[in-house]
Chain A
Amino acid sequence: MSGATQAHADTPHQPIFVGEVQARLEALYPHYPTRQACLLPALWMVQEARGWISEPAMAEVAEVLGLTPAYVKGVVTFYTMYHTHPVGRHFIQVCTTSPCNLCGAEDVLKSLLRESGCGELGATSPDGRFTIAEVECLGACGFPTPILIDDDFIEHVTPERVPGILQGYK
């Protein structure tokens, strides 16, 4: 996600499944007995290329895999990791489920919202750097609080560590 060009909702859709991305998708076809099964991987490719999944992108995926745009949207909106609107250059997911909650995750979240400039969940910081989401259990409960910044999984985050961690993401 980091460094991906953030397309705005009003810019015309540029096809994603051309050249190398198309080749990567087609290389998956032999691994599944149906084209439909390539939907989750295809959506990951869209998000990797564009940072989020717009409706025209869903329509393109639908056409490539022989599905309807409505079907694709139904799947996209089921899964929380697919973004249906633009997000900051770095997307932060903070675990606040019970095990982390017991160990101070809410203070980590508050610190992240403050230090990033995001202010509230789902909002992008004014400098466009960050968007923060609460996430349900990151599966690293013994190392509270884990956060995920783009693809970087960071354990043992405390409010004190937050400013230093954010400095690494421009």
Chain B
Amino acid sequence: MGYPHPSHPKETPVLSKHFGDAGARTYEGWVQRGGYAGLRKALGMAPDAIIEELKASGLRGRGGAGFPTGLKWSFMPKGDGKPHYLVCNADESEPGTFKDREIMRWTPHALIEGCAVAAYAIGAERCYIYIRGEFTEPLAVMHQAVAEAYAQGALGADALGSGMRIDFVIHRGAGAYICGEETAMMNSIEGKRGNPRIKPPFPAAAGLFGMPTTINNVETLAAVPHILNRGADWYKGLCLGNPKSTGTKLISVCGHVQRPGNYEITMGTPMRDLIFDMCGGMRPGRTLKAVIPGGSSVPIMNAEEAGDCVLDYEGVIAKGSMLGSGGMIVMDDSADVVYQVWRLARFYAHESCAQCTQCREGTAWTTKILERILAGKGKEADLALLLDLSDGMTGKTICVLSDSCAAPIVSGIQKFRPEFEAYLSGARQPALAMA
């Protein structure tokens, strides 16, 4: 449902069905709403059968990359005698994205259940839930729910009487966007600086504490019990045409729409239905100018591209961007694209872990050049320079943080060039004073 708004008829509430319903937060309340049946069912299945069910459902990672979840789980070695770990990525920090926060705040047991199923399927003795440090309320709710799940015997030495041991540890982050990158997160849990690691080795071979590890996003894991309860065919059927993108997706909509919030759509829903029907369209007297559809790390779309874009993994790629985390930033004609591109570049400059030169220097210099342009002191060659730097920041570093900084810069210049030129020519008044 479009929390905090009532559910819209064009939504398909599965994960968000109980958002806003405080009764769903307790163990008992969750059981009354059908909870823990998925875990119970899973514990009666062979781990391989669970993985096959997930593969058949078509579920893909909801954190941004869209990698098939069942396939990811199948990479975990079997019978290797080493400890295995599951990491739940609850470091939601991608500008525009605020869905995992609501899953944890309202349906903590859905996440616990999903994590427990995953831990069992991959043979993990322990699940670390990494929650960003600023999420004080989700942290409190999750701590309470995990304690309750232990007290009720759903977790611990004999999970739901199955004889299986499933342990959970909640690990609080301390303010670092980069820790949402899976290998940086593992370093952070190990008590290190959150620097991403070079891959390979991939986490399934050598992840947390050097052991086989699977890492999944909150929304991905929360979908798992529903798939086990209702079957892969049901989930696969939640699809408006493209069989590669199935199920429901929470889209966090923010910016200049009448009703920002989290909307749960069936994959394949037209973007215009989301923006103009579910979110109530633009503010009075305003028109749509630009959309960043998948969190700040993906290319900006103009109104025309957004107008006939279909919301699923392939549909957004076809329009030159990515579905990413589903954090949709909507801008109307009052938005200054140059200013917002600068603000995003500044974000990445602040969050760069500074390991790779292209990222450390590139994010800082692109920010400074954009600042110069906004201060009315830009040079004619600055746009070419920005594009050149962006090229040097794409595909050349350990992780994709610098690629993410380049995405809005390149797409911003490509699609809104006259706005940049207006600052360069002096046709537009400076928006920033330069220090």
Binding site for B on A (CB under 8 A): 31-34, 36-41, 43-44, 65, 67, 74-75, 78-82, 93, 96-99, 101-103, 135-144, 148, 151-153
Q: Which residue of A lies closest to B260 (CB)?
A: A142
In the complex, which residues of chain A have a beta carbon less than 8 angstroms from the beta carbon of B126? 31
Do the beta carbons of B191 and A137 come within 8 Å of each other? no
Q: Which residue of A lies closest to B178 (CB)?
A: A78
Would you give the 0/1 interface string for B285-313, flagging 1 where the beta carbon is closer than 8 Å to chain A?
00000001000100000000000000000
Do the beta carbons of A98 and B95 come within 8 Å of each other? yes
Known: A78-B176, A98-B329, A142-B260. A40 touches B188 (CB 8 A): yes
Chain B residues with a Cβ closer than 8 Å to the other chain, count: 57
Q: Does B362 contact A (CB under 8 A)?
A: no
Would you give the 0/1 interface string for B182-210, flagging 1 where the beta carbon is closer than 8 Å to chain A?
00000011111110000000000000010
Binding site for A on B (CB under 8 A): 4, 83, 92-98, 100-101, 126, 132-137, 167, 169, 171-177, 188-194, 209, 252-256, 260-262, 292, 296, 327, 329, 331, 335, 339-340, 343-344, 347, 350-351, 353
In the complex, which residues of chain B have a beta carbon less than 8 angstroms from the beta carbon of A65? 191
Cross-interface CB contact of B174 among A67, A80, A139, A152, cutoff 8 Å: A80
Do the beta carbons of B296 and A98 come within 8 Å of each other? yes
Do the beta carbons of A99 and B96 come within 8 Å of each other? yes
Query: Which of A98, A101, A135 has its CB near the most chain B CB atoms (within 10 A)?
Result: A98
Do the beta carbons of A74 and B134 come within 8 Å of each other? no
In the complex, which residues of chain B have a beta carbon less than 8 angstroms from the beta carbon of A101? 339-340, 343
Listed by A's residue number, 8 A-B pairs whose Cβ atoms lie within 8 Å are: A36-B190, A41-B172, A80-B176, A97-B347, A98-B96, A98-B340, A152-B136, A153-B135
Do the beta carbons of A102 and B340 come within 8 Å of each other? yes
Q: Which residue of B lies closest to A65 (CB)?
A: B191
Give chain B nearest CB distance to A38 CB in angstroms. Answer: 7
Give chain B nearest CB distance to A36 CB in angstroms. Answer: 4
How many Å lie between the Cα of A139 and that of B173 in the bound state? Answer: 14
Cross-interface CB contact of B335 among A33, A43, A102, cutoff 8 Å: A102
Q: Which residue of A lies closest to B132 (CB)?
A: A139
Query: Which of A32, A67, A153 has its CB near the most chain B CB atoms (within 10 A)?
Result: A32
